Structures are given as C-alpha cells and as structure tokens.
Structure 1
Amino acid sequence: MYNIDDIKLANNIFYYLVSNKEINEEDSPEYFRDYCESQEIMNLVKSQGEAFNVKVEKYGTTIYLIPNEDNNFLGFSKNELKKELCKSNATDKDYYLSQFVILTLLVEFYSSQGRDSKSRDSLRGGEFLNIISDRLKEAVEREDLEKIQADSGIAYENIYEKW
C-alpha cells in the first residue's frame, strides 16, 4: 500500500521528468534525493513510466526519462525524425546516414567512462568528416561484413555508398 503523499510526490517527480527529460542532483536535489532514497517513490515513478511507454533510469547523478523505441508520444517516429533530419526527398539511406553521423558524434564526445562520461569538448569539422569516412570504410572492409550487417540490421554498404 502506498500513502497519498508518496503518490503525489511520485506524480510530481514524473511530471518534472516529462517536462525536463531528466532530474539532475545539482538542479533538483530534492526530487533526486526523494527518488533515490525511497524504494516506494522509485517504484511508483517507474510504474508511471511503464504506463507512458518510457523507462526511468538513474545513471550517476542524473535520472533520465528514456522513451521506448516505439514511443511516438514522447519520442519520434521514423518518418517524423526523417522529416526533421533530412531533405524533403530523402531516402532511407539518407536517414540511416544521419543516424550514423549522430551516433558517431555522440561516441566522439561521450565515449569515456566514470563519473563524467564526456571525453572531449570540441571537434573540428574536417576531423569529424575524416572520422566518419574512416569508420564507414573500416566497416565495409571487414571480412565478416555480411554477418555484422545481418546481426545488427545496419546496412553499412548502403550508408557508405550514400556518404
């Protein structure tokens, strides 16, 4: 049984997450502490997340609201994202290339581990273009490319061709 105060607090925490996508220990110490120190509050917030087709996860000093892959309410559908990221006459190859570029960018900036996962503060445009070219070339030149593509569902050859 949950008491009404716990339910209200969990609702406030979940609302804050929906509004801000995250709760950081520095920015919202009360909500962060309430979530982390009370198993009841944590369970209620996670239960609300399940109802909204999202995950609520704590990593380090931040609690995140992470939409599930098929969540079109708090996330994007493939077509909506394609429309935002690519030109109006874009193909799926354009879309997948944009996803590869975004993931490469994230890996370049946040590939370290520990308290602060950020690994660098800046990256020159030309260097980034070279990194993308090198990674795509590496992928298509692998001997086990067909197996990798089948296992991951990523058509590296098509992405490289579009690049």
Structure 2
Amino acid sequence: MSFICPKIYRCDIKVLVLQCQNMSYSEFLLISTNAEKLDFYNVTVKNEDASIVPLEKLVEVAVKVRYINLYFDENDTSITSETAKNLLKIPHFLSLEQCTLHGMPEVFDIETFCLHFRKNKVTDFDFRFLPTISQAHKERLEAIIVEIISTESHDFQIPMIGFDGQNRENYEKLFNLLR
C-alpha cells in the first residue's frame, strides 16, 4: 500500500480487500473514502507516531461502509476494552448490513454489545473469538448464547458467536436460528 497510495489522485473503490498489510492512517483515509465493503485480513493501520489506530476510529471515518469483514490475529491491538462502547456511538455502525469480526480478543466488551443485540434489527453480526480466551470468558459467551437461544421471541437480528471449545449443541441451535 505504501508504494501504491502516493500514486493515487482520487479513489472510488467500493470493495476494499486487503491482506497482510501495514498502512498509515492517511493511506487508509485515501483508499476507504468511498468503500462500501471492507475485507481486512491481518491488516494494521498505524498513526504517524506508529501507534495502532483503534478499530472504532477506522469505522468512524468509513462513513459509506455497509459491510465489514475483519480478521485479526492474536497480536492485533486495534481492539480495546473501549471498542464496543465506542462502536455503538457511531451512527452508521448501527445501520451496517453485516459486521464480521474474527479473531476477537477477550478484552472486547461483549457485555456492552449484548445490550445492543436485543435492539438490533438491521446488522448481521458474526463474532469469532481467539482460541486463547480464558475459560471464564468462554463460560460467559456460552451463557450469552444460551440466553439468545432460550428467548422465545426473536424480534432482533440474532448474532453469531463462535469460539473454540463451545458447546456444539448450543452452537448448532444458534446457527439454526440464523437461518
């Protein structure tokens, strides 16, 4: 990206798919302005001081985005304990058609997101957590899944939640509800 971006005058990319890239925040701004879909596989966006740009800051400036598919590795630090709360403050985030976040760390505040699930009528969420999350976090995620599948009326978009070691039967029930 660092080689290509200086040669770009105007960017009308609608679907932006990047894999294993490091880019500056200014490069991200240049190429994501008109993007309606972001597919990032192990992409790191850095500020001028070399710090990692938080996920919510990327979503905030990608105002035309409708679909987000982000795949993180265990070393990614763009998700913090404040990410969920900050994402929910972004008006266009709440109207996305799809948001897939794979490789989510335990630090992601799923409790804050749970408050939004029951109000969500638009966005298809798919959260897959890192295999390194703690047993306590797995138990909390399992409890959230049980709460979702045991709800009688699903007048909201059901989120997909996945992690290593989860109860297979509950996973299948959740998957079947999504159909």
Q: TM-score, normalised by structure 1?
A: 0.29
Higher normalized strand content (fraction of residues): 2
TM-score using structure 2 length:
0.27
Q: Who wins on radius of gyration, i.e. which is larger?
A: 1
Higher helix share: 1
